[in-house]
Structure 1
């Protein structure tokens, strides 16, 4: 197996609350955020047509780390456990909360999310999204 690096973010979508409301509930500065009804724009601020249909916030939890994701998943779950009620409110309103993992690999790779960690993610109301960059 080759070396793997990864980054991890907490991503939240909410159908009606503002980005500032989500940010306040999470208690972290977002890397990206926009509110439902805001004018759409590119990441560098150029205007796009239309309005955002939902609020979106992305919070960096781990910045490109060399190692294995399955070595830190337990830490991330523990660090996020105090947010369980906030995640439940988002989901109850029709929103979504996820841990987003970006894997940067060369060659073969793989990881396991243990059954106990899967149960803990589910209990927190967090989906797990993985994006592989070869």
Structure 2
């Protein structure tokens, strides 16, 4: 089997600026925008309207072969020092999520054990999983 996965941290907040997210997490966002600023395409062309919330996306694991659950465990260990920040984001009306892309050649699945799910809950992190058939 030739499964691959990617893991991205996504942080959403009703106000503030995404640069503050970068500072708090000590990471550089690959995508970010601030509530109230003009919307743009990924190439920088203007769109109508403004962003309704602040958001930042941080690539944590590039396309990596292996079992996704092992990767999530490693990422959660890395993110644990930011637990209080994640709690504050959620308390202020935002949300924090791990977005996971799974690329597979044949039917695939996963099982999150109680310890892994408890870690996600303890840090107020949602899990978003999207499956893709590998080309």
Mapping of residues 1-134 of structure 1, within 5 Å:
2-134=1-133
Cα displacement (A) at 1:68: 1.0
Runs of 4+ residues deviating >6 angstroms: none
List alignment gaps of at least 5 residues for structure 1: none
TM-score w.r.t. the length of structure 1 is 0.96
Cα displacement (A) at 1:16: 0.8
Cα displacement (A) at 1:133: 1.2
TM-score w.r.t. the length of structure 2 is 0.95
Instruction: Provide the aligned C-alpha RMSD in A.
Output: 0.8
List alignment gaps of at least 5 residues for structure 2: none
